[in-house]
Amino acid sequence: MKRLLFNLLRLLLLSALGGAAWVAHRAETLPELPAAAKPREQDVLEELRLAAIKRATAFEISEADINRHLAAVMPTRIGSRAEGWFRLQDTRVELEEGRAHVVIVWDVRGLRRTASIDLSIRREAENYHVEVLHGAIGHLRLPRGMMRVLDPTLRVITDALDAEIKALFQMTQITFGKDKLLLDSRFTSA
């Protein structure tokens, strides 16, 4: 009887692992990149740099503008060491109240694989803290601690977007809104 129970438990665990692997390998669907309603006067990076220098404005950048900027600059800035069978293909951002949902897409031997993380940002004194709330590999939702496997990929992305990140953190206030990034570069009265 013990042997039967042990084999049933082993079968149940193997089934759960197989199900998790299947869910993890199903790629997340990406929203379509909308066409620009009106051409931007400046690109996102230049707009961030000017706001950091002037320190006199509050403005917003739409989710669509961020995604168009990422689509334009990421392919030129990221190169893969294993270009023959593995490469970072795309990065998209979906903004919601208080958080950003970042979707990373890889092409692995012609198959599309995705991972996503949810981030929040808060300011404490002079420093910003970006917190990983949770994420997913494919459709398999994972807690924050298990997203550590994405660290190398996130480092590559942050290195590629170093200029944008530095300009972003020059802002006095950064807020995630529904489909927009709200930025304030004005000096605070502290």
Q: Which of 183, 160, 159, 154 is nearest to 170 (CA)?
A: 183
Q: What average pLDDT is seen over the chain?
A: 81
Whole-structure pTM value? 0.77
- pLDDT for the residue 31: 64
* CA–CA separation, 88 and 85 (whole Å): 11
In tens, the pLDDT along 10-25 reads 888 888 888 877 777 7
Domain spans in the chain, listed from the N-terminal domain onward: 2-184
- pLDDT for the residue 12: 85
Burial class (CB in 10 A: 0-12, 13-18, 19+), 82: exposed
